[in-house]
């Protein structure tokens, strides 16, 4: 099936390029007087519009698993011109059936064994609760989901502070929306135990978890064996090792919330993605970074990571006391707010960055065109 999908991708790129050239020549009114040569239009397509293999698989997911055509436009923040190209191609290849009502049906059902279908948060919650035999408590730490199986210790020396169960469910939802293939997914650190929640939800996904915390890795490995999950663990210090063996479709990291910490962890994740493309997920809060986020944006560009989404208000940490600073801020807050209120409120909020990885940096195509020329 992988070879079949690679061939489908190659055919799509040819079809997509031909439509791109045709439309640029005939339907871009702002280019009528200039009439760019076909060679220039092709360069625009190859540098700016041609998807990677994994990018293509990610883009077609709303058409393979969605219920209506509107999901494609919304999920890919695209427009109906691109929608037509994908619909027409997938129809010609007899991969989907499209009704006049806009309803879509997947004809080639075996595709769903290779491309992970998206799942709603309610579905994920139901699966995890059934498999673990626990009730999810949204605002409690994700570690508590597994406490009857393994005693995970939160360690201050590794700057560990697990996210809420609600946040973990949301993260898994976004990963399943974006990852294009059941190939290996990398966790650059995983004290949030997302690898466990993800593979409990979708057991066909393979994961590699790297961390310096042996106790954490032992626990993840123990639970992976107990629930027959495809998780491999390795003790690795990313400051000393830069490249892993393996073919990864994406990575997730929730690093130290400093400029250098984000660069180290995200850079390591990006270095593991290959020529087929990939997706990256970064959870990061603004404890101390401030306006240095500007420098991080420059760093992401250097690593060929395009920011597709930045999601706020979905990832947060329940109250925890690890450091002397935590005791001090609690003391200060208690002068204004009741202690019970503080302990029930989030300790820290974080952003979720979602990246599209470009294996090759696009080149600037030199061509003078009007500001309104959509080329």
148-179 pLDDT per residue, tens: 999 887 665 556 688 999 999 999 999 999 99
312-322 pLDDT per residue, tens: 999 998 887 77
Confidence of residue 81 (pLDDT cuts 50, 70, 90): confident
Domains of the chain: 2-113 (no CATH), 121-357 (3.40.50.150)
336-368 pLDDT per residue, tens: 989 888 878 887 889 999 999 999 999 998 887
Tokens encoding 216: 């954490």
Q: In the chain, where does DSSP find H-type helix?
A: 2-26, 38-44, 53-65, 70-75, 80-92, 121-132, 165-178, 194-201, 214-226, 259-271, 293-302, 324-334, 339-344
Q: Which long-range contacts (CB under 8 A, 24 or more apart) does 100-104 make?
A: 102/68, 102/69, 102/70, 103/67, 103/68, 104/63, 104/66, 104/67, 104/68, 104/69
Residue 371 has a pLDDT of 74
Residue 196 has a pLDDT of 98
Confidence of residue 221 (pLDDT cuts 50, 70, 90): very high
Q: For residues 154 and 156, what is the distance between their CA atoms, to the nearest angstrom?
A: 7
Place of tokens 């929640």: 197
- Tell me how far the alpha carbon of residue 296 is from its chain's centroid: 18
Q: What is the pTM of this model?
A: 0.93
**Residues linked to residue 351 through DSSP beta bridges, in sequence order:** 284
Mean pLDDT, rounded, of the chain: 90
- pLDDT > 90: percent of the chain: 67
Q: What is the chain's Cα-based Rg?
A: 23
Residue 33 has a pLDDT of 63
User: What's the number of CA atoms in the CB half-sphere (13 Å) around residue 228?
Assistant: 3
- The predicted model gives 44-59 an average pLDDT of 94
């Amino acid at each position: 099936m992988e070879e079949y999908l690679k061939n489908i991708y190659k055919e799509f790129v040819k079809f997509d390029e031909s439509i791109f050239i045709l439309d640029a020549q005939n339907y871009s009114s702002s280019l009528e007087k200039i009439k760019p040569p076909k060679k220039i239009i092709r360069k625009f397509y190859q540098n700016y519009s041609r998807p990677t293999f994994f990018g293509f698989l990610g883009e077609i997911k709303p058409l393979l698993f969605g219920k209506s055509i509107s999901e494609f436009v919304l999920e890919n923040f695209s427009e109906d011109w691109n929608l037509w190209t994908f619909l027409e191609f997938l129809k010609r290849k007899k991969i989907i059936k499209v009704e006049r009502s806009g309803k879509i049906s997947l004809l080639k059902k075996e595709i769903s064994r290779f491309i992970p279908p998206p799942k709603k948060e309610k579905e994920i919650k139901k699966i995890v609760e059934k498999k673990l035999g626990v009730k999810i408590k949204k605002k409690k730490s994700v570690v508590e989901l597994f406490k009857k199986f393994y005693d995970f210790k939160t360690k201050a020396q590794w700057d560990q502070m697990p996210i809420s169960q609600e946040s973990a469910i949301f993260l898994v939802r976004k990963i399943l929306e974006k990852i294009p293939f059941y190939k290996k997914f990398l966790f650059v650190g995983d004290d949030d135990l997302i690898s466990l929640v993800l593979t409990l939800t979708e057991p066909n996904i393979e994961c590699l978890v790297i961390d310096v915390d042996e106790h954490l890795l032992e626990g993840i490995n123990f639970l992976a064996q107990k629930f027959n999950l495809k998780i491999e663990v390795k003790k690795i210090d990313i400051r000393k090792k830069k490249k892993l063996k393996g073919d990864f479709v994406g990575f997730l990291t929730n690093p130290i919330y400093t400029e250098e910490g984000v660069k180290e962890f995200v850079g390591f994740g990006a270095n593991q993605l290959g020529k087929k493309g990939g997706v990256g997920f970064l959870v990061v809060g603004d404890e101390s970074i401030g306006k240095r986020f500007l420098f991080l944006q420059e760093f992401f560009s250097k690593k060929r990571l395009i920011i597709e989404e930045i999601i706020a208000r979905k990832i947060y940490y329940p109250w925890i006391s690890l450091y002397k600073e935590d005791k001090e801020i609690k003391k200060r807050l208690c002068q204004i707010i009741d202690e019970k209120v503080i302990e029930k409120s989030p300790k820290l909020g974080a952003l979720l960055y979602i990246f599209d990885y470009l294996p090759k940096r696009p080149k600037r195509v030199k061509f003078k065109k009007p500001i309104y020329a959509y080329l």
